[in-house]
């Protein structure tokens, strides 16, 4: 098991649509374990495979720090099958540093997919679990929180990031 590097915006893989997992084998199980290690190491509440450089549809979520009634959830090929309500929720993302913004989300969602043993699983989420499911499944579709912000907010973030990267470059040279 190992902690993997988390790709950061604007890495191109974060904008790609991930592909379905065709077979759950030892290699996928290893990926899932590495994703769990990486998520816990980064103190995140969710992670999609594309964030660690794997273009397949796998997510891990553990919102128990915010909602103790929940526990670890691993889903392969997850999809949202119904959604209800609408709310603004403040979110951050391990791949989009220094960005904590209100994003429009559904209040309740139902999702289905496969467990790490290949069994069909369904989950009903409300609140933080619902937001995490939407956020991670967005990743599998190449969508980042930046894409859910207003054009102006997105521009401000891009400019801030550009400045930060330039400063880092200057400091290195």
- Catalytic residue list: 136
Which of 31, 93 has the CB closer to Zn ion? 93
**Backbone φ and ψ of 123, nearest 5°:** -140, 140
CA distance 119 to 156: 44
The total of other beta-carbon atoms located within 10 Å of residue 124's CB is: 12
Q: Please say whether the beta carbons of 125 and 36 come within 8 A.
A: no
Task: Tell me the sheet residues that pair with 80.
Answer: 111
CA 144 to CA 14: how far, in whole Å? Answer: 8
Q: How far is the CB of 48 from Zn ion (least distance, A)?
A: 7
Locate tokens 């969508």: which residue?
Answer: 143
What does the binding site for Zn ion look like in residue numbers (CB under 5 A)?
A: 93
The least CB distance from residue 34 to Zn ion, in Å, is 17
Please, which residue, 24 or 145, has the CB nearer to Zn ion?
145
- Least Å from the CB of residue 27 to Zn ion: 23
Give the other-Cβ count within 10 Å of 4's Cβ: 19
Q: What's phi and psi for 78, nearest 5 deg? A: -75, 150
């Amino acid at each position: 098991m190992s902690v993997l590097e988390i790709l950061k915006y604007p890495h191109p893989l974060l904008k790609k649509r991930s592909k379905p997992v065709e077979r759950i084998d030892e290699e996928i199980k290893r990926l899932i374990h590495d994703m769990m290690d990486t998520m816990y190491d980064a103190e995140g509440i969710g992670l999609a495979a594309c964030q660690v450089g794997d273009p397949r549809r796998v997510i891990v979520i553990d919102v128990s720090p915010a909602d103790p009634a929940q526990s670890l959830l691993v889903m392969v090929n997850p999809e949202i099958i119904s959604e209800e309500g609408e709310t603004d929720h403040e979110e951050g993302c391990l791949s989009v540093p220094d960005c904590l913004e209100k994003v429009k989300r559904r209040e309740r969602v139902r999702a289905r997919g496969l467990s790490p043993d290949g069994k069909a699983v369904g989950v009903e989420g409300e609140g933080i679990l619902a937001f995490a499911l939407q956020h991670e499944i967005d990743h599998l579709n190449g969508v980042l929180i930046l894409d859910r912000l207003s054009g102006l907010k997105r521009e401000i973030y891009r400019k801030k990031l550009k400045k930060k990267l330039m400063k880092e470059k200057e400091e290195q040279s």
